[in-house]
Amino acid sequence: MPIYRACFTLIYAYGLRISEAVTLPISAVDSKQMVLRVIGKGNKERILPLTEPILQMLRDVWKIHRSPRWLFPSRRRTTHLPDATARAAFIQARDACGFNSDFRPHSLRHSFATHMLEQGVDIRIIQMLLGHSSLRSTEIYTHLTNPLRDQLRQLLFQTTDGLFEGRGPSRG
């Protein structure tokens, strides 16, 4: 269903919590300033840059339901999509794809953070994007993935090359 697909695309694209995504009002999208306003834990607002493809996806989904209030409405359109309904849709899609039951909606948030880190985005920027007040919360998402491990291995090689051969580290 396009509404679920759009909701989970948004969760992955911005590292949102499922509760943040399903409760987004239409007014969260500011197409003039190209930002998405997200209310997170502790009622804190994050202002995230909106990309043209995401904006177009949200417009296309809105044309399907035309809810005057919610980006992702319930079937009645007067309330937002319930967390439990979104989770059930995710589990159904996950199972149909044959993914492990460890793959949950929150895994999309972890994947977002991991991919940002792999792209070299500073952890403090990732902290801001995720809406964490503490850097410690963000560090939970920063486990060593294979690409990060390979980058670290290359860096260590560059800084230690030649140390045991009677010459200093290579330059360059």
**Residues 77, 61: contact at Cβ < 8 Å?**
no
Which of 5, 41, 44, 59 is catalytic? The answer is 41
Which of 4, 14, 80, 109 is catalytic? The answer is 109
- Determine the length of the chain: 172
Check if 143 is active-site.
Answer: no
Which of 77, 106, 149, 153 is catalytic? The answer is 106
Check if 141 is active-site.
Answer: yes
Which of 4, 46, 80, 141 is catalytic? The answer is 141
Check if 4 is active-site.
Answer: no
Task: Output b/e per residue, 15-34; b: 16+ Cβ within 10 A.
Answer: bbbbebbbbbeeebbeeeee
Which of 4, 14, 17, 80 is catalytic? The answer is 17
CA dihedral sign of residues 152, 157, 163, 168: negative
Check if 65 is active-site.
Answer: no
Check if 109 is active-site.
Answer: yes
Check if 59 is active-site.
Answer: no
Which residues are the active-site residues?
Answer: 17, 41, 106, 109, 132, 141
